[in-house]
Amino acid sequence: MNQAQTLAPISPHAPAPTNYMPVTDLVAQVGHIQQVMHAVMKDGEHFGKIPGCGDKPTLLKAGAEKLAMTFRLAPEYDIQEREMPGGHREYRVMVRLVSILTGVMVGAGVGLCSTMEGKYRYRAGDGEITSVPVPKSYWDTRRSDPTAAARILRETANKAGLPGSKFGTKKDAEGRWMISTHGERVEHDNPADYYNTVLKMAKKRALVDAVLTSTAASDIFTQDIEDMPEVIPGAGAATSSQQQKPQGTGKKTTAPQQGNPQPAHNPDHPPAPSAAQLAMLRNEGKKAGLDEVALVSLARHMTGDDSIQSIDQLTKPETTQMIDGIKSGALLNIPPDANQQMGDMPSGF
């Protein structure tokens, strides 16, 4: 090597290589995420706070998509499928986020989901209708505080001489809402019903992980707490409560629906949904990739009543709430089974 070509020693006073992000750019990026959060993202739809878990909101799938769009990042999925005993299946997904402008990979995330998870593996068994009417206080607290509503059912049933700690609600032959016993947990007889659901869940978990990592937004958002009930029990139910839209306090007269056996104005017997509403709910569910089983499970989680066996058991306001929640995507961040009050169920990619 020619002496003139030898490398000169690096002076300790020489400027450092410019292969890092300047502090001003870093500050600008964090500020931009916060601006997007306040200007575009909605609480309960793109992110949500979990009561008792600090002030840092958890990032939901819709919010992750917004941040990916903001920074011009396109996801590329690598999906691995593993067959398990009993017809169960596991999906492992890696997401690479690639810059749309440069084609350079910016970051990656991973996610896993299987039909062996409790919320997909089990369902509530059939319960029996009792002769004890559902108290009005249950309906008053059902949406705002599912835990308190469950306690009201339990206390009412126990006072009436019914043993047990878990109860639900069902209509009797005359269309009256009665307390029902809670069936034991049983395994779903066909895990394949949830193949598509767990695949989308794994993709969603990987996407959120990739976005948080690639945009350095973990100081603003946390990983999906509602996906980790083993760490924070009841987190999914809390998120569900946050995602539900507040109801008006004014009284409104509702016309009785055809086939509804109880008066619509009686507060002890909330109005039942019309056939048109149920058809609309099924149609919105179909567009979101939800079959009848998934709709029932979503209804259980939304209401906190895991004795629901059909969407026909919903009240008229609850049916409207489900339709709106599926359309907006808010309810699709809730898991398909409320028995363990877990998770969030993603919409289609």
If asked whether residues 326 and 311 sit together in one domain, one would say: yes
Q: Which domain holds residue 82?
A: 35-120+190-225
The model carries a pTM of 0.51
Give the distance, in angstroms, between the CA of residue 258 and the centroid of all CA atoms in the same chain: 33
Q: What is the reported pLDDT for 4?
A: 46
Mean pLDDT for the chain overall: 74
| Three-state SS at 49 | coil
- Residue 239: Cβ-neighbour burial (10 angstroms; 0-12, 13-18, 19+): buried
- What is the spatial distance between Cα 332 and Cα 349, in angstroms, rounded to a whole number? 12
In a domain, 247, yes or no: no
Confirm if 122 and 186 have CB atoms less than 8 A apart.
Answer: yes
If asked whether residues 115 and 147 sit together in one domain, one would say: no
If asked whether residues 50 and 199 sit together in one domain, one would say: yes
Work out whether the CA dihedral 39, 44, 48, 52 comes out positive or negative: positive
If asked whether residues 48 and 63 sit together in one domain, one would say: yes
In a domain, 42, yes or no: yes
If asked whether residues 109 and 174 sit together in one domain, one would say: no
Distances (CA, A) of 301 to 179, 244, 286, 294: 18, 11, 18, 11
If asked whether residues 116 and 196 sit together in one domain, one would say: yes
Q: What is the reported pLDDT for 48?
A: 75
In a domain, 69, yes or no: yes
In a domain, 30, yes or no: no
In a domain, 110, yes or no: yes
In a domain, 241, yes or no: no
Mean pLDDT, consecutive 10-residue stretches, the chain (349 aa), reads: 47 56 73 78 76 68 88 94 94 95 92 90 79 90 81 90 84 87 80 91 92 79 48 40 40 39 46 81 82 82 74 84 79 46 34
If asked whether residues 68 and 45 sit together in one domain, one would say: yes
Q: What is the reported pLDDT for 18?
A: 57
Where do the H-state alpha helices sit in 267-332? 275-287, 292-303, 316-328
For the chain, give the number of residues.
Answer: 349
If asked whether residues 161 and 302 sit together in one domain, one would say: no
pLDDT digit string (tens) for 251-289? Answer: 333 333 444 443 334 445 567 788 878 888 888 888 877
> Which of 225, 246, 281 is at the close of a domain?
225
Q: What is the reported pLDDT for 239?
A: 42
If asked whether residues 62 and 96 sit together in one domain, one would say: yes
In a domain, 57, yes or no: yes
Question: What phi and psi, each to the nearest 5 degrees, are found at residue 123?
Answer: -140, 165
If asked whether residues 134 and 207 sit together in one domain, one would say: no
If asked whether residues 106 and 194 sit together in one domain, one would say: yes
Q: 196: number of CA atoms within 13 Å, CB side?
A: 10
Domain count of the fold of the chain? 3
If asked whether residues 40 and 158 sit together in one domain, one would say: no
| Three-state SS at 176 | coil
pLDDT digit string (tens) for 191-223? Answer: 998 899 999 999 999 999 999 888 877 766 655
